Amino acid sequence: MITTGALIHGQREKLLRFDGSEHPVALQLGGSEPDELARAARWGEQAGYDEINLNCGCPSERVQRGAFGACLMAEPDLVADCVRAMREVVSVPVTVKHRIGLDRDESYDFVVRFVDRVAQAGCRVFIVHARNAWLKGLSPKENREIPPLRYETVYRLKRDFPGLTIVINGGLRSHHEALAQLEHVDGVMLGRAACDDPWLLSSVDSLYYGAPDPFALRHEAIEGVRSYLSAQVSEGVSPRAVLRHLLGLFNGLPGARAWRRTLSDSAVLSAYGAATLDQALMRTLRT
């Protein structure tokens, strides 16, 4: 997620840069000014992104001060204007990620009015976190855990808007749970679960798309990351920025602690750079 302000006033090319192996990749924008979002969306499409997503789900107070994120759900007309402005300048899909309510108001009318209004502006894909966003008193982490999950609300949205693509998000920790959701909605977003256990993604191709999985073993996945890591480091990216996504790769297996400690050790990262991956693998195998 990148704010419109960062793209307008910051190092735009650096912020939008990504590797071709990441396709398909979406650019999530944070903002609430239609004109600024349109500019940012156009830059995103020119940079090669496959989708532009508007953040209407982040509940952090810092994001609220920027007048975007979950607080935008209280202004469906403004969100509709933002979506319309972006769609007018890009040919890639413009999608919205949002919650099912704000604070402790669990009225279905609130979320259905939001979806209806934004759909009228041309948005066809909604990624729905099946929790309310409590705008005061909870940290972003607590907002992912404390507001109760209400999957039925998301199912009801799909029943009431059969022509829209409804993707469910929130609290899903396994493929068993995720696949069960496809009986009710069009898609599933795995967020925190994929961060905690990246190996979970290794079987997505076969389970969801009937295609061969890219790697059969974790060691094969590591080899797949090696060239990417070297290329990123050669461009000035910190190895930590890449390797932190692999911290949970061996979770639940012998050597997991050594793997995590090596990849997060500042001294090792400084000394070995891209070769930190080799150091971590050697120490993991040794345990």
- Biggest alpha carbon–alpha carbon distance for the chain: 59
Q: Per-domain residue ranges for the chain?
A: 2-196, 218-286
H/E run at residue 226: helix 218-234
Mean pLDDT in order along the chain per 10 residues (287 residues): 96 94 96 97 98 94 74 97 98 98 96 98 98 91 93 98 98 97 98 94 96 94 92 92 96 94 95 94 84
pLDDT (0 to 100) of residue 264:
95
CA atoms 141, 143, 149, 150: torsion sign? negative
Return the ∠ at Cα 232 (arms to 226 and 234), rounded to 5°.
Answer: 100
- Residue with token string 């004109």: 35
Please give the torsion angle defined by the CA atoms of residues 192, 239, 6 and 166, in that order, rounded to the nearest 10 degrees. Answer: -30
Catalytic residue positions, numbered: 58
CATH says 2-196 is which class?
alpha beta
What separation in angstroms does the CA of 73 have from each of 149, 229, 271? 18, 38, 47
Tokens of 112: 């259905």
**Residues sharing a CB contact under 8 Å with residue 235, sequence separation 6 or more, in sequence order:** none
d(CA 264, CA 241): 10
pLDDT (0 to 100) of residue 67:
72
pLDDT (0 to 100) of residue 60:
81
Statement: the pTM of the whole predicted model exceeds 0.75: yes
pLDDT (0 to 100) of residue 285:
82
The architecture in CATH of the region 218-286 reads Up-down Bundle (1.20)
